[in-house]
Amino acid sequence: MPGNRFNAFQDHGIGIGLRIPHYQHIFSRKPIVDWFEIISENFMIDAGRPLAMLDRILEQYRVVQHGVSMYFGSVTAPDPEHLRRLKTLVRRTKTPWLSDHLC
C-alpha cells in the first residue's frame, strides 16, 4: 500500500491474501511479498493449527488483518468478547493496520 494520509504516509509494499491452499507454497518457496492479509476471525482462537501456521508466517512476513464480522455500521453494539479476541490477535500479529466491514 503506498503512503497516504490514512497510513501516516508509510509505504507498506505489496501484499496478498493468506489462504490455507497457499501454505505449502509459502513455506517451500518463500515468495517475495511484503505482507499477507489474514481474515481476523479465522485466527481469533486460543490454540490449534491455524495459530501454529500463523506463527510460522509471522516468523518471515508481516501480516495485516481484515475482519468480516464487526459491521461497524450495525445498530447493535460490538460484542466485548469479539473485541477482546481481536485485540489479542492484533497484539500477536503487530499488524500495521486493521480493517473490517462497515455494514
Angle at 59 between CA 56 and CA 60, to 5 degrees: 105
Domain spans in the chain, listed from the N-terminal domain onward: 16-24+33-99
H/E segment holding residue 65: strand 62-66
Q: How many residues does the chain have?
A: 103
| pLDDT tens, residue by residue, 9-37 | 677 788 999 999 999 999 999 999 999 99
Distance (Å, whole) CA 37 – CA 16: 6
Chain-centre distance for alpha carbon 92: 10
> Does the pTM of the predicted model rise above 0.85?
no
Q: How many CA atoms lie within 13 A of 79 on its CB side?
A: 7
Q: Is the pLDDT of residue 4 over 70?
A: no
